[in-house]
Structure 1
Amino acid sequence: MNQTAAFIYAHPDDETFLSGCLIRQLADRGAKPILLLATKGDAGKKNGSLQQATNEELAAVRVKEMDKAAHILGLSLVEHLGYPDGKLNTVPTEAAVEAILAFINTHQPENVFTFGEDGGNGHPDHIAISKLTTSAATSGRCPSVRRLFYVASETLLTQGLSPAISVDTEPNWAVKAAALRAHDSQMLAIERYFGSLASFPEHRRYESFVLAWEQGIWFPPVTGEASKSVPK
Protein backbone atom coordinates (compact mmCIF):
# COMPACT_ATOMS: atom_id res chain seq x y z
CA MET A 1 0.00 0.00 0.00
CA ASN A 2 1.52 3.31 -1.05
CA GLN A 3 -1.52 5.59 -1.00
CA THR A 4 -1.32 8.98 0.64
CA ALA A 5 -4.02 9.97 3.13
CA ALA A 6 -4.39 13.61 4.14
CA PHE A 7 -5.77 14.60 7.54
CA ILE A 8 -6.84 18.25 7.58
CA TYR A 9 -7.79 19.66 10.97
CA ALA A 10 -7.91 22.94 12.87
CA HIS A 11 -5.50 22.52 15.82
CA PRO A 12 -2.51 20.51 16.97
CA ASP A 13 -3.90 17.51 18.90
CA ASP A 14 -7.06 17.18 16.75
CA GLU A 15 -5.21 14.51 14.79
CA THR A 16 -4.54 12.40 17.88
CA PHE A 17 -7.92 12.94 19.55
CA LEU A 18 -9.81 11.85 16.45
CA SER A 19 -7.58 9.66 14.32
CA GLY A 20 -4.35 8.74 16.11
CA CYS A 21 -4.80 5.00 15.78
CA LEU A 22 -5.98 5.24 12.17
CA ILE A 23 -2.89 7.28 11.30
CA ARG A 24 -0.63 4.71 13.01
CA GLN A 25 -2.38 1.85 11.20
CA LEU A 26 -1.93 3.55 7.86
CA ALA A 27 1.76 4.14 8.51
CA ASP A 28 2.26 0.55 9.65
CA ARG A 29 0.58 -0.77 6.49
CA GLY A 30 2.88 1.21 4.22
CA ALA A 31 0.61 4.14 3.41
CA LYS A 32 1.70 7.76 3.76
CA PRO A 33 -0.41 9.72 6.28
CA ILE A 34 0.11 13.48 6.15
CA LEU A 35 -1.33 16.32 8.22
CA LEU A 36 -2.34 19.90 7.48
CA LEU A 37 -3.32 22.12 10.42
CA ALA A 38 -5.10 25.41 9.91
CA THR A 39 -3.75 26.96 13.13
CA LYS A 40 -0.90 26.43 15.55
CA GLY A 41 -3.26 26.32 18.51
CA ASP A 42 -2.10 29.69 19.84
CA ALA A 43 -5.38 30.36 21.66
CA GLY A 44 -5.49 27.00 23.42
CA LYS A 45 -5.65 26.46 27.15
CA LYS A 46 -2.46 27.48 28.96
CA ASN A 47 -1.50 24.92 31.58
CA GLY A 48 1.10 25.14 34.32
CA SER A 49 4.19 27.17 33.44
CA LEU A 50 2.53 28.40 30.24
CA GLN A 51 -0.19 30.35 32.00
CA GLN A 52 1.65 33.64 31.40
CA ALA A 53 2.79 32.74 27.87
CA THR A 54 1.84 34.92 24.93
CA ASN A 55 -0.09 33.40 22.06
CA GLU A 56 3.11 33.38 20.00
CA GLU A 57 4.98 31.52 22.75
CA LEU A 58 2.19 28.99 23.11
CA ALA A 59 2.14 28.45 19.34
CA ALA A 60 5.88 27.67 19.36
CA VAL A 61 5.39 25.15 22.15
CA ARG A 62 2.49 23.48 20.41
CA VAL A 63 4.37 23.15 17.13
CA LYS A 64 7.14 21.30 18.97
CA GLU A 65 4.58 19.11 20.72
CA MET A 66 3.01 18.38 17.35
CA ASP A 67 6.37 17.28 15.95
CA LYS A 68 6.75 14.83 18.83
CA ALA A 69 3.24 13.44 18.36
CA ALA A 70 3.81 13.14 14.61
CA HIS A 71 6.85 10.96 15.20
CA ILE A 72 4.86 8.70 17.53
CA LEU A 73 1.96 8.37 15.09
CA GLY A 74 4.09 7.86 11.98
CA LEU A 75 2.96 10.97 10.13
CA SER A 76 5.10 11.51 7.05
CA LEU A 77 4.82 15.29 7.26
CA VAL A 78 3.02 18.06 9.10
CA GLU A 79 2.30 21.50 7.68
CA HIS A 80 0.73 24.51 9.41
CA LEU A 81 -1.20 27.25 7.62
CA GLY A 82 -0.72 29.48 10.66
CA TYR A 83 -4.15 31.08 10.69
CA PRO A 84 -5.26 32.64 14.01
CA ASP A 85 -6.64 30.11 16.46
CA GLY A 86 -10.28 30.74 17.33
CA LYS A 87 -10.78 33.01 14.32
CA LEU A 88 -10.66 30.58 11.42
CA ASN A 89 -14.14 31.59 10.32
CA THR A 90 -12.83 35.13 9.67
CA VAL A 91 -10.09 34.03 7.26
CA PRO A 92 -10.74 34.96 3.59
CA THR A 93 -12.40 31.86 2.19
CA GLU A 94 -10.90 31.90 -1.30
CA ALA A 95 -7.33 32.26 -0.04
CA ALA A 96 -7.78 29.49 2.52
CA VAL A 97 -9.27 27.10 -0.05
CA GLU A 98 -6.37 27.85 -2.38
CA ALA A 99 -3.90 27.03 0.41
CA ILE A 100 -5.59 23.69 1.02
CA LEU A 101 -5.69 22.97 -2.71
CA ALA A 102 -1.96 23.67 -2.90
CA PHE A 103 -1.30 21.20 -0.08
CA ILE A 104 -3.46 18.53 -1.69
CA ASN A 105 -2.02 18.96 -5.16
CA THR A 106 1.55 18.94 -3.86
CA HIS A 107 1.12 15.67 -1.97
CA GLN A 108 -1.55 13.93 -4.09
CA PRO A 109 -3.64 12.11 -1.46
CA GLU A 110 -6.36 9.70 -2.54
CA ASN A 111 -8.24 10.01 0.75
CA VAL A 112 -8.92 13.19 2.74
CA PHE A 113 -10.16 13.26 6.34
CA THR A 114 -11.65 16.23 8.17
CA PHE A 115 -14.48 17.26 10.48
CA GLY A 116 -18.11 17.02 9.46
CA GLU A 117 -20.21 20.09 8.88
CA ASP A 118 -21.03 20.41 12.58
CA GLY A 119 -17.35 20.35 13.54
CA GLY A 120 -17.99 17.35 15.76
CA ASN A 121 -18.61 19.49 18.83
CA GLY A 122 -19.72 22.77 17.28
CA HIS A 123 -16.31 24.46 17.62
CA PRO A 124 -16.23 27.35 15.09
CA ASP A 125 -12.71 26.46 13.92
CA HIS A 126 -13.73 22.83 13.35
CA ILE A 127 -16.75 23.94 11.34
CA ALA A 128 -14.63 26.36 9.33
CA ILE A 129 -11.95 23.81 8.41
CA SER A 130 -14.67 21.35 7.40
CA LYS A 131 -16.17 23.86 4.99
CA LEU A 132 -12.80 24.88 3.58
CA THR A 133 -11.52 21.34 3.15
CA THR A 134 -14.78 20.16 1.63
CA SER A 135 -14.70 23.02 -0.87
CA ALA A 136 -11.16 22.14 -1.87
CA ALA A 137 -11.49 18.36 -1.99
CA THR A 138 -14.72 18.34 -4.00
CA SER A 139 -13.86 21.24 -6.30
CA GLY A 140 -12.67 19.12 -9.21
CA ARG A 141 -9.31 20.88 -8.98
CA CYS A 142 -7.46 18.13 -7.12
CA PRO A 143 -7.72 15.01 -9.30
CA SER A 144 -5.85 12.73 -6.91
CA VAL A 145 -8.68 12.85 -4.35
CA ARG A 146 -11.11 9.96 -4.67
CA ARG A 147 -12.79 10.11 -1.27
CA LEU A 148 -13.57 12.61 1.48
CA PHE A 149 -14.26 11.28 4.97
CA TYR A 150 -15.87 13.15 7.85
CA VAL A 151 -15.23 12.36 11.50
CA ALA A 152 -18.38 10.55 12.64
CA SER A 153 -20.47 12.70 14.96
CA GLU A 154 -23.85 12.37 16.62
CA THR A 155 -25.25 14.72 13.98
CA LEU A 156 -24.13 12.49 11.11
CA LEU A 157 -25.12 9.27 12.85
CA THR A 158 -28.61 10.54 13.69
CA GLN A 159 -29.02 11.33 10.00
CA GLY A 160 -28.83 7.59 9.41
CA LEU A 161 -25.25 7.49 8.15
CA SER A 162 -23.02 4.59 9.19
CA PRO A 163 -19.25 4.75 9.60
CA ALA A 164 -17.27 3.53 6.61
CA ILE A 165 -14.23 3.19 8.85
CA SER A 166 -14.22 2.32 12.54
CA VAL A 167 -10.87 1.71 14.23
CA ASP A 168 -10.71 0.00 17.60
CA THR A 169 -8.15 1.92 19.64
CA GLU A 170 -7.59 -0.87 22.16
CA PRO A 171 -4.72 -2.62 20.28
CA ASN A 172 -2.84 0.66 19.79
CA TRP A 173 -4.00 2.53 22.87
CA ALA A 174 -0.45 2.84 24.21
CA VAL A 175 0.56 4.63 21.01
CA LYS A 176 -2.44 6.96 21.08
CA ALA A 177 -1.88 7.72 24.77
CA ALA A 178 1.78 8.53 24.11
CA ALA A 179 0.83 10.89 21.29
CA LEU A 180 -1.75 12.57 23.53
CA ARG A 181 0.89 13.02 26.25
CA ALA A 182 3.13 14.65 23.64
CA HIS A 183 0.58 17.50 23.58
CA ASP A 184 1.52 18.26 27.16
CA SER A 185 0.39 21.90 27.14
CA GLN A 186 -3.18 20.68 26.59
CA MET A 187 -3.14 17.88 29.16
CA LEU A 188 -6.00 19.28 31.24
CA ALA A 189 -8.30 19.22 28.20
CA ILE A 190 -7.00 15.79 27.20
CA GLU A 191 -7.72 14.32 30.63
CA ARG A 192 -11.21 15.83 30.64
CA TYR A 193 -11.87 14.00 27.36
CA PHE A 194 -10.00 10.71 27.87
CA GLY A 195 -9.40 10.45 31.60
CA SER A 196 -6.03 9.43 33.02
CA LEU A 197 -4.89 7.74 29.76
CA ALA A 198 -4.05 4.58 31.71
CA SER A 199 -6.63 2.84 29.52
CA PHE A 200 -9.11 3.90 26.88
CA PRO A 201 -12.53 5.10 28.08
CA GLU A 202 -15.13 2.79 26.58
CA HIS A 203 -17.16 5.66 25.13
CA ARG A 204 -14.03 6.93 23.32
CA ARG A 205 -12.86 3.51 22.19
CA TYR A 206 -13.49 3.81 18.43
CA GLU A 207 -12.25 6.31 15.84
CA SER A 208 -15.02 6.39 13.27
CA PHE A 209 -15.44 8.14 9.93
CA VAL A 210 -18.32 8.57 7.50
CA LEU A 211 -17.73 8.48 3.76
CA ALA A 212 -18.96 11.94 2.76
CA TRP A 213 -17.97 12.05 -0.91
CA GLU A 214 -16.56 9.63 -3.45
CA GLN A 215 -15.69 10.65 -7.00
CA GLY A 216 -18.49 13.19 -7.28
CA ILE A 217 -21.14 11.35 -5.27
CA TRP A 218 -22.20 12.66 -1.88
CA PHE A 219 -22.70 10.15 0.93
CA PRO A 220 -22.60 7.10 -1.33
CA PRO A 221 -23.53 3.67 -0.01
CA VAL A 222 -20.51 2.16 1.70
CA THR A 223 -19.05 -0.78 -0.20
CA GLY A 224 -15.85 -2.76 -0.01
CA GLU A 225 -14.45 -0.57 -2.77
CA ALA A 226 -15.19 2.58 -0.78
CA SER A 227 -12.72 1.69 1.94
CA LYS A 228 -10.30 -0.53 0.06
CA SER A 229 -7.32 1.78 0.60
CA VAL A 230 -7.96 2.52 4.28
CA PRO A 231 -8.22 0.02 7.14
CA LYS A 232 -11.61 -0.61 8.71
Structure 2
Amino acid sequence: MNAFPAPVVPSAGLDLHGQTVVALHPHPDDEAIFTGITLRRLADAGARTVLVMATGGELGGSRVPLRTGETVGQRRIAELEEAAALLGVSRLVLLGRRDSGLPGGPDGSHALALATAQPLALAGRVAEILDEEGAATLLADDEQGVYGHPDHRMSGIVGTIAAELTGADAYLATVDRTVGDGHLVHGAARAAAVSFGRAASDISLAVEGDDRLLAVKRAAILAHRSQVDPAALPEADFAGHYGREWFRHASPAAGPGVLDLLGARPA
Protein backbone atom coordinates (compact mmCIF):
# COMPACT_ATOMS: atom_id res chain seq x y z
CA MET A 1 0.00 0.00 0.00
CA ASN A 2 2.57 2.54 1.10
CA ALA A 3 6.30 2.83 0.60
CA PHE A 4 8.48 4.38 3.29
CA PRO A 5 12.00 5.72 3.29
CA ALA A 6 14.26 3.43 5.28
CA PRO A 7 17.00 5.50 6.93
CA VAL A 8 19.83 3.05 7.42
CA VAL A 9 22.35 2.72 10.21
CA PRO A 10 24.93 0.23 8.86
CA SER A 11 24.98 -3.06 10.73
CA ALA A 12 28.58 -4.04 11.35
CA GLY A 13 29.57 -7.36 9.79
CA LEU A 14 26.15 -8.26 8.44
CA ASP A 15 25.02 -7.64 4.87
CA LEU A 16 21.46 -8.67 4.01
CA HIS A 17 21.12 -6.71 0.77
CA GLY A 18 19.02 -8.76 -1.64
CA GLN A 19 17.01 -10.36 1.18
CA THR A 20 13.33 -9.54 1.62
CA VAL A 21 11.43 -10.33 4.81
CA VAL A 22 7.64 -10.11 5.15
CA ALA A 23 6.19 -9.57 8.63
CA LEU A 24 2.50 -10.39 9.20
CA HIS A 25 0.74 -8.89 12.24
CA PRO A 26 -2.92 -8.61 13.29
CA HIS A 27 -3.13 -5.10 14.80
CA PRO A 28 -1.28 -1.78 14.59
CA ASP A 29 1.29 -1.68 17.44
CA ASP A 30 1.98 -5.46 17.32
CA GLU A 31 4.74 -4.82 14.79
CA ALA A 32 6.60 -2.59 17.24
CA ILE A 33 5.89 -4.53 20.43
CA PHE A 34 6.83 -8.00 19.16
CA THR A 35 9.22 -7.39 16.22
CA GLY A 36 10.38 -3.77 16.41
CA ILE A 37 14.04 -4.53 17.10
CA THR A 38 14.04 -7.32 14.53
CA LEU A 39 12.57 -5.17 11.75
CA ARG A 40 14.97 -2.31 12.46
CA ARG A 41 17.99 -4.61 12.55
CA LEU A 42 16.97 -6.23 9.27
CA ALA A 43 16.61 -2.82 7.61
CA ASP A 44 19.93 -1.63 9.02
CA ALA A 45 21.61 -4.72 7.54
CA GLY A 46 20.21 -3.88 4.09
CA ALA A 47 17.20 -6.20 3.94
CA ARG A 48 13.92 -5.03 2.43
CA THR A 49 11.12 -5.39 4.97
CA VAL A 50 7.42 -5.57 4.10
CA LEU A 51 4.85 -5.16 6.86
CA VAL A 52 1.47 -6.81 6.27
CA MET A 53 -1.22 -5.66 8.70
CA ALA A 54 -4.33 -7.83 8.83
CA THR A 55 -6.66 -5.34 10.57
CA GLY A 56 -6.84 -1.62 11.27
CA GLY A 57 -7.32 -2.13 15.00
CA GLU A 58 -10.57 -0.20 14.75
CA LEU A 59 -12.19 -1.28 18.00
CA GLY A 60 -12.00 0.53 21.28
CA GLY A 61 -11.56 4.19 22.02
CA SER A 62 -8.63 6.54 21.69
CA ARG A 63 -6.68 7.75 24.68
CA VAL A 64 -5.92 10.99 22.81
CA PRO A 65 -8.43 13.35 21.18
CA LEU A 66 -9.28 12.60 17.57
CA ARG A 67 -9.28 15.29 14.91
CA THR A 68 -12.62 16.55 13.66
CA GLY A 69 -14.16 13.83 11.51
CA GLU A 70 -11.36 11.36 12.25
CA THR A 71 -12.19 7.79 13.24
CA VAL A 72 -10.23 5.53 15.56
CA GLY A 73 -9.35 3.35 12.57
CA GLN A 74 -7.95 6.29 10.62
CA ARG A 75 -5.88 7.38 13.60
CA ARG A 76 -4.48 3.91 14.12
CA ILE A 77 -3.39 3.62 10.48
CA ALA A 78 -1.70 7.03 10.65
CA GLU A 79 0.14 5.88 13.77
CA LEU A 80 1.07 2.63 12.05
CA GLU A 81 2.62 4.54 9.16
CA GLU A 82 4.69 6.58 11.62
CA ALA A 83 5.88 3.46 13.46
CA ALA A 84 6.69 1.69 10.18
CA ALA A 85 8.90 4.57 9.10
CA LEU A 86 10.77 4.46 12.42
CA LEU A 87 11.36 0.72 11.97
CA GLY A 88 12.71 1.10 8.44
CA VAL A 89 9.82 -0.69 6.77
CA SER A 90 9.96 -0.40 2.99
CA ARG A 91 6.32 -1.24 2.23
CA LEU A 92 3.10 -1.46 4.23
CA VAL A 93 0.21 -3.63 3.03
CA LEU A 94 -3.25 -3.58 4.67
CA LEU A 95 -5.35 -6.72 4.29
CA GLY A 96 -8.57 -4.92 5.23
CA ARG A 97 -9.96 -7.29 7.84
CA ARG A 98 -11.65 -5.96 10.99
CA ASP A 99 -10.46 -6.16 14.58
CA SER A 100 -12.26 -9.05 16.32
CA GLY A 101 -12.23 -7.57 19.81
CA LEU A 102 -11.83 -9.57 23.00
CA PRO A 103 -12.41 -13.35 23.03
CA GLY A 104 -16.09 -14.20 23.27
CA GLY A 105 -17.25 -10.68 22.44
CA PRO A 106 -19.83 -9.83 19.77
CA ASP A 107 -17.28 -8.25 17.42
CA GLY A 108 -15.66 -11.61 16.86
CA SER A 109 -18.59 -12.75 14.74
CA HIS A 110 -18.59 -9.74 12.41
CA ALA A 111 -18.43 -10.78 8.75
CA LEU A 112 -15.13 -8.95 8.22
CA ALA A 113 -13.58 -9.84 11.58
CA LEU A 114 -10.16 -11.40 11.23
CA ALA A 115 -11.30 -14.25 13.48
CA THR A 116 -13.99 -15.24 10.95
CA ALA A 117 -11.70 -15.15 7.91
CA GLN A 118 -11.17 -18.23 5.76
CA PRO A 119 -7.54 -19.04 6.62
CA LEU A 120 -6.63 -20.54 3.25
CA ALA A 121 -8.03 -17.58 1.31
CA LEU A 122 -6.24 -15.03 3.48
CA ALA A 123 -3.05 -17.08 3.38
CA GLY A 124 -3.31 -17.01 -0.39
CA ARG A 125 -3.20 -13.20 -0.30
CA VAL A 126 -0.14 -13.26 1.95
CA ALA A 127 1.47 -15.84 -0.33
CA GLU A 128 0.89 -13.50 -3.29
CA ILE A 129 2.76 -10.76 -1.44
CA LEU A 130 5.62 -13.14 -0.65
CA ASP A 131 5.84 -14.18 -4.31
CA GLU A 132 5.50 -10.61 -5.59
CA GLU A 133 8.32 -9.48 -3.33
CA GLY A 134 10.49 -12.52 -3.89
CA ALA A 135 10.59 -12.87 -0.12
CA ALA A 136 12.16 -16.01 1.31
CA THR A 137 11.39 -15.24 4.96
CA LEU A 138 8.12 -14.66 6.83
CA LEU A 139 7.60 -13.44 10.38
CA ALA A 140 4.21 -14.20 11.94
CA ASP A 141 2.67 -15.05 15.31
CA ASP A 142 3.13 -18.53 16.69
CA GLU A 143 0.34 -21.11 16.71
CA GLN A 144 -0.86 -19.92 20.11
CA GLY A 145 -1.17 -16.37 18.87
CA VAL A 146 1.42 -15.18 21.43
CA TYR A 147 -1.29 -14.71 24.06
CA GLY A 148 -4.32 -16.47 22.63
CA HIS A 149 -6.22 -13.49 21.24
CA PRO A 150 -8.35 -14.76 18.31
CA ASP A 151 -6.78 -12.30 15.86
CA HIS A 152 -3.28 -13.33 16.89
CA ARG A 153 -4.20 -17.01 16.57
CA MET A 154 -5.63 -16.41 13.11
CA SER A 155 -2.52 -14.45 12.13
CA GLY A 156 -0.40 -17.40 13.19
CA ILE A 157 -2.50 -19.86 11.22
CA VAL A 158 -2.53 -17.68 8.12
CA GLY A 159 1.21 -17.07 8.31
CA THR A 160 2.01 -20.75 8.73
CA ILE A 161 -0.15 -21.67 5.72
CA ALA A 162 1.35 -18.88 3.59
CA ALA A 163 4.85 -20.13 4.39
CA GLU A 164 3.85 -23.66 3.41
CA LEU A 165 2.31 -22.43 0.15
CA THR A 166 5.45 -20.53 -0.86
CA GLY A 167 8.24 -22.43 0.83
CA ALA A 168 9.19 -19.32 2.82
CA ASP A 169 11.27 -19.77 5.95
CA ALA A 170 8.89 -19.02 8.85
CA TYR A 171 9.83 -17.48 12.17
CA LEU A 172 6.91 -17.41 14.60
CA ALA A 173 6.88 -14.66 17.22
CA THR A 174 6.17 -15.40 20.86
CA VAL A 175 7.34 -14.21 24.28
CA ASP A 176 9.27 -15.91 27.04
CA ARG A 177 6.57 -16.38 29.67
CA THR A 178 9.13 -15.89 32.46
CA VAL A 179 9.70 -12.27 31.43
CA GLY A 180 8.95 -9.94 34.34
CA ASP A 181 5.43 -8.56 34.77
CA GLY A 182 5.78 -5.28 32.90
CA HIS A 183 5.53 -6.23 29.25
CA LEU A 184 2.36 -5.00 27.52
CA VAL A 185 1.46 -8.62 26.77
CA HIS A 186 0.73 -9.16 30.46
CA GLY A 187 -2.05 -6.58 30.49
CA ALA A 188 -3.39 -7.81 27.17
CA ALA A 189 -3.49 -11.40 28.41
CA ARG A 190 -5.25 -10.35 31.61
CA ALA A 191 -7.84 -8.36 29.62
CA ALA A 192 -8.49 -11.37 27.40
CA ALA A 193 -8.37 -13.81 30.34
CA VAL A 194 -5.86 -16.03 28.53
CA SER A 195 -2.35 -17.36 29.08
CA PHE A 196 0.61 -16.19 27.05
CA GLY A 197 4.01 -17.10 25.73
CA ARG A 198 6.16 -20.19 25.84
CA ALA A 199 8.77 -21.77 28.03
CA ALA A 200 12.34 -20.85 27.11
CA SER A 201 12.96 -24.45 26.01
CA ASP A 202 10.34 -24.01 23.26
CA ILE A 203 11.91 -20.83 21.87
CA SER A 204 14.38 -21.16 19.00
CA LEU A 205 16.10 -17.80 19.26
CA ALA A 206 15.97 -14.31 20.69
CA VAL A 207 16.90 -11.14 18.83
CA GLU A 208 18.40 -8.44 21.05
CA GLY A 209 18.81 -4.70 20.69
CA ASP A 210 21.37 -2.20 21.94
CA ASP A 211 20.53 1.18 23.45
CA ARG A 212 19.92 2.79 20.05
CA LEU A 213 17.60 0.01 18.91
CA LEU A 214 15.74 0.07 22.21
CA ALA A 215 15.16 3.80 21.76
CA VAL A 216 13.82 3.19 18.25
CA LYS A 217 11.55 0.40 19.47
CA ARG A 218 10.18 2.50 22.32
CA ALA A 219 9.52 5.41 19.95
CA ALA A 220 7.74 3.07 17.52
CA ILE A 221 5.49 1.67 20.26
CA LEU A 222 4.73 5.18 21.52
CA ALA A 223 3.87 6.28 17.98
CA HIS A 224 0.66 4.34 18.71
CA ARG A 225 -0.33 7.09 21.10
CA SER A 226 -4.07 6.45 20.76
CA GLN A 227 -3.49 3.05 22.39
CA VAL A 228 -0.30 3.16 24.48
CA ASP A 229 0.23 5.35 27.52
CA PRO A 230 3.89 6.43 27.88
CA ALA A 231 3.55 5.71 31.59
CA ALA A 232 3.24 2.01 30.66
CA LEU A 233 6.72 2.11 29.10
CA PRO A 234 9.07 3.67 31.66
CA GLU A 235 12.54 4.12 30.21
CA ALA A 236 14.19 2.73 33.33
CA ASP A 237 12.51 -0.67 32.91
CA PHE A 238 12.21 -0.78 29.14
CA ALA A 239 15.35 -2.78 28.35
CA GLY A 240 14.44 -5.52 30.80
CA HIS A 241 11.00 -6.05 29.34
CA TYR A 242 11.53 -5.26 25.65
CA GLY A 243 15.23 -5.79 24.96
CA ARG A 244 14.62 -9.24 23.47
CA GLU A 245 12.20 -10.51 20.82
CA TRP A 246 11.51 -14.22 20.78
CA PHE A 247 10.82 -16.56 17.87
CA ARG A 248 10.23 -20.20 17.13
CA HIS A 249 11.90 -21.23 13.87
CA ALA A 250 9.20 -23.28 12.15
CA SER A 251 11.52 -24.96 9.65
CA PRO A 252 14.89 -25.53 11.37
CA ALA A 253 15.52 -28.67 9.32
CA ALA A 254 16.21 -26.38 6.37
CA GLY A 255 19.16 -24.96 8.27
CA PRO A 256 19.85 -21.49 9.68
CA GLY A 257 17.83 -18.66 8.16
CA VAL A 258 18.02 -14.88 8.10
CA LEU A 259 16.96 -14.35 11.69
CA ASP A 260 19.52 -16.88 12.90
CA LEU A 261 22.11 -14.36 11.70
CA LEU A 262 20.62 -11.78 14.08
CA GLY A 263 19.68 -13.89 17.08
CA ALA A 264 20.95 -16.41 19.56
CA ARG A 265 19.45 -19.27 21.52
CA PRO A 266 17.98 -17.82 24.76
CA ALA A 267 20.04 -18.52 27.83
- With normalisation by structure 2, the TM-score equals 0.72
1:117-132 equivalences under 5 Å are 117-132=143-158
Aligned to 1:33: 49
Residue 203 of structure 1 and its aligned partner are, at CA, apart by: 3.1
1:231 matched to 2:262: yes
Structure 1 residues 18, 53: CA separation in 2 closer, same or farther (over 3 Å shift)? farther
8 Å CA contact 1:170, 1:200 repeated in 2: no
Structure 1 residues 57, 35: CA separation in 2 closer, same or farther (over 3 Å shift)? same
Aligned to 1:11: 27
Cα-Cα RMSD = 2.6
Structure 1 residues 177, 10: CA separation in 2 closer, same or farther (over 3 Å shift)? same
Q: Distance in 2 between matches of 1:127 and 1:90?
A: 11
Aligned to 1:172: 213
Deviations 1:81-138 (A, max 9, x none): 0101113111233321221111111112111111111111111100011001111111
8 Å CA contact 1:23, 1:75 repeated in 2: yes
**SS class of match (2:146):** coil
**SS class of match (1:160):** helix
8 Å CA contact 2:147, 2:197 repeated in 1: no
Residue 229 of structure 1 and its aligned partner are, at CA, apart by: 6.6
8 Å CA contact 1:173, 1:199 repeated in 2: no
Residue 68 of structure 1 and its aligned partner are, at CA, apart by: 0.9
Give the letter aligned to residue 30 of structure 1.
G
Residue 166 of structure 1 and its aligned partner are, at CA, apart by: 2.4
1:91 matched to 2:117: yes
**SS class of match (2:27):** coil
1:151 matched to 2:161: no
**SS class of match (1:81):** strand
Q: Distance in 2 between matches of 1:157 and 1:91?
A: 26
Q: Distance in 2 between matches of 1:230 and 1:61?
A: 35
8 Å CA contact 1:26, 1:230 repeated in 2: no
Residue 158 of structure 1 and its aligned partner are, at CA, apart by: 2.9
1:77 matched to 2:118: no
Q: How many residues align?
A: 216
Could you list the runs of 5+ residues in structure 1 that have no partner in the other structure? none
Indicate which of 42, 59, 70 corresponds to 2:73.
59
Structure 1 residues 210, 58: CA separation in 2 closer, same or farther (over 3 Å shift)? same
Greater shift after overlay, 165-174 or 76-85? 165-174
8 Å CA contact 2:130, 2:136 repeated in 1: no
**SS class of match (2:51):** strand
- With normalisation by structure 1, the TM-score equals 0.82
Could you list the runs of 5+ residues in structure 2 that have no partner in the other structure? 1-15, 101-112, 178-195
8 Å CA contact 2:49, 2:88 repeated in 1: yes
Residue 230 of structure 1 and its aligned partner are, at CA, apart by: 4.1
Aligned to 1:100: 126
Give the letter aligned to residue 150 of structure 1.
L
8 Å CA contact 1:62, 1:185 repeated in 2: yes
Q: Distance in 1 between matches of 2:43 and 2:204?
A: 21
8 Å CA contact 1:73, 1:176 repeated in 2: yes
Q: Distance in 1 between matches of 2:226 and 2:259?
A: 37
Give the letter aligned to residue 48 of structure 2.
K
**SS class of match (1:46):** coil
Residue 197 of structure 1 and its aligned partner are, at CA, apart by: 4.1
Q: Distance in 2 between matches of 1:164 and 1:198?
A: 25
**SS class of match (2:227):** helix
Give the letter aligned to residue 43 of structure 1.
L
Aligned to 1:162: 203
Deviations 1:114-170 (A, max 9, x none): 11111111111000110011111112xx24x2x101113347743832333422354
